Amino acid sequence: MNKIKVVNKGYTLSVISWENDGDNYRTKSKTYDTKEEAVKIAKLCKELFVSCNNGNVGIGNTTEGDEEEANETILEWLKNNPKFFENQENLDEEGLINDIMDINYNLMGGSEYYYSRVFQSASITYSPEDVYIEEIKF
């Protein structure tokens, strides 16, 4: 009997993202130990990874050549959210940007041409335990 884990114990944040003109949709998920952490990361996605077009202040749909402007947007967001990282004031700008982009990549995925995909929506689910299903071989 082979078992497959289908749900992780904890708070699972699932993010739907897209690139370019609303194509190439993707859903990625990550599980966190606490509700507060999952909500904090969802807030980051909703506020920072939105499209940079149409007057939005976000980094979504930023192309590879516009990293400098996107990085300035990240630093401005962190300035307005000073408690996002513990001891944030003691961290260097490059490290902060790299940490944000790691979250971005883990939840939104990468793209060949875009620095950041566009956040579409997110949901958080909770499971008190890991959930497995049985795989039936035939």
pLDDT tens for the chain, 138 residues: list them. 799 999 999 999 999 999 877 788 999 999 999 999 999 999 999 999 998 876 678 999 888 788 999 999 999 999 999 989 988 777 899 999 999 999 999 999 988 888 999 999 999 999 999 999 999 989
Cα 42 to the center of its chain, rounded Å: 7
Overall pTM surpassing 0.85 (yes/no): yes
CB 96 within 8 Å of CB 104: no
State how beta strands 2-7 and 10-19 pair: unpaired
Find, among 54, 52, 23, the residue nearest to 116 by Cα: 52
Backbone angles phi, psi at 45, to 5 degrees: -60, -45
CB 65 within 8 Å of CB 124: no
